[in-house]
Structure 1
Amino acid sequence: MDGLAHDSKQRILAAAEEIFATKGLHGARVDEIAEKAQINKRMLYHYFHSKNDLYAEVLKINFERMWDVTSQATKDRNNPQVQLVEAIKSYFYFLKENPNFPRLMTWEALEGGIYAKKVLPPIWDAAFPQLRAIIDEGKSKGVFRDDLDSRQILTSIHVLCISSFTQKDILAILWKDNPTRPENLEKRLEHILSLTLRSILAN
């Protein structure tokens, strides 16, 4: 793919991500995506056969981006507690810096995960063993409780982190404050880390 074609495709993906995150798959229109990408609709269909294919590609790219950021944060193989803390922090900051991701996940969950079923399994099949290995190593070294269920721990971490962003408007009503202010996000992350570690550490 030459430079011009690559640029066109990237503009389509960026425009599509923004519109899908705002309106969901069914609310988004191809005409609107093409207009935002400053490209004609025929060219869009040259790269993506349908709106559904484009949506699936946007999801795939976001999942890959999230895992790439998280996996880079878990390089310290000698300290499972540090690895897990860094993984949580990297995921939380990824959500903070990529506001479209939580919105896309909300829309996809409302649709029953139809397209996530198509694009997420290969990514998760690579990610889960690495994350489980951190927990297993912590258990074997006596750092983490030996009765921990990796799936339950990772699910809890995911929900604690992503709900801080998907529920931000409701939280703003409850707190009478903006939960995404930097100081509030740092407090939220500190609480997630404290809650997680207190529930999994052996001592």
Structure 2
Amino acid sequence: MSWEKDSRERILAAAEELFAARGIEGARVDEIARRAGVNKRMIYHYFGSKEGLYRSVLEANHARALEAGRSALRRPLGLQERVAEAIRSYFHFLARHPNYPRLMAWEALQGGEHARQVLAQLRRDLLPELREVLEEGVREGAFRADLDLEQVLATVITLCSAHFSGRDPLEPGKAEERLKHITELVLRYVSPTK
């Protein structure tokens, strides 16, 4: 039913805002329900608990981030250009979804238990595609042979996310300057030494 989908989406949107602002510990189910315009019993009906709602918010955000990276890796570009496009896609995803880096910052502060549960599946979904691109790059001599895929992925995520945790990450000119720096840094690292 469309009203159920609408209610569920309003709950997720309200929860995302509050979880991003206050973390899971600071957000209250009553306030989420009030902002979503639903009875709080609906939250428990759809998500089971506040923790279930929080994981659903994380899953939705991680899935959007994953899709941004996947679509970039599938573009008909050269290998280095696909990696650069994946970095750009993730960076622009963060710019369009400012709650995501805040959610991840709260997760880091609160031990990361929920993100670990959610990220495990999403990482399994993305890593094979990224590994395929990097392995092809190693075979063709576009990438160095000793790459640690997990480290490359963690570096990209950390560098991009750090930009959006600053005071004014969208200051004109600064975002593209930062993106260019991150992309060049990662591409230099993955390229074979001359």
TM norm. shorter chain > 0.5? yes
- Structure 2, unaligned runs of 5 or more: none
Whether contact under 8 Å (1:76, 1:82) holds in the other structure is no
Structure 2 counterpart of 1:187: 177
Q: Which letter does structure 2 place at the counterpart of 1:14?
A: A
CA distance in 2, matches of 1:55, 1:85: 31
Please give the per-residue CA displacement for 1:12-53, whole angstroms capped at 9, x wherever unaligned. Answer: 000000000000000000010001001111222221221111
1:117 Cα deviation after fit:
2.5
CA distance in 1, matches of 2:95, 2:25: 25
Q: Which letter does structure 1 place at the counterpart of 2:61?
A: N
CA distance in 2, matches of 1:148, 1:49: 41
Structure 1 counterpart of 2:90: 91
CA distance in 2, matches of 1:138, 1:190: 21
Q: Which letter does structure 2 place at the counterpart of 1:148?
A: L
**Alignment of structure 1 residues 124-203 onto 2, 5 Å:** 124-166=123-165, 168-169=166-167, 178-202=168-192, 203=194
CA distance in 1, matches of 2:106, 2:85: 28
Q: Which letter does structure 2 place at the counterpart of 1:37?
A: A
Identical residues among aligned pairs (%):
46
**Alignment of structure 1 residues 7-86 onto 2, 5 Å:** 7-76=6-75, 79-86=78-85
- Structure 1, unaligned runs of 5 or more: 170-177
Structure 2 counterpart of 1:175: none
Structure 2 counterpart of 1:105: 104
Tell me, what secondary structure is at the counterpart of 1:182? coil
1:78 Cα deviation after fit:
5.9
- TM-score normalised by the chain length of structure 1: 0.90
Q: Which letter does structure 2 place at the counterpart of 1:163?
A: A
Whether contact under 8 Å (2:24, 2:54) holds in the other structure is yes
CA distance in 1, matches of 2:141, 2:112: 37
**Deviates most, 110-119 or 51-60:** 110-119
Q: Which letter does structure 1 place at the counterpart of 2:52?
A: D
Please give the per-residue CA displacement for 1:71-107, whole angstroms capped at 9, x wherever unaligned. Answer: 0111136621111011000000001110000000011
**Deviates most, 74-83 or 9-18:** 74-83
Runs of 4+ in 1 over 4 A off after TM superposition: none
Q: CA RMSD in A?
A: 1.4
CA distance in 1, matches of 2:176, 2:6: 36
CA distance in 2, matches of 1:15, 1:179: 23
**Deviates most, 133-142 or 23-32:** 133-142
Q: Which letter does structure 1 place at the counterpart of 2:118?
A: V
Change (3 A) 1:24 1:128: same
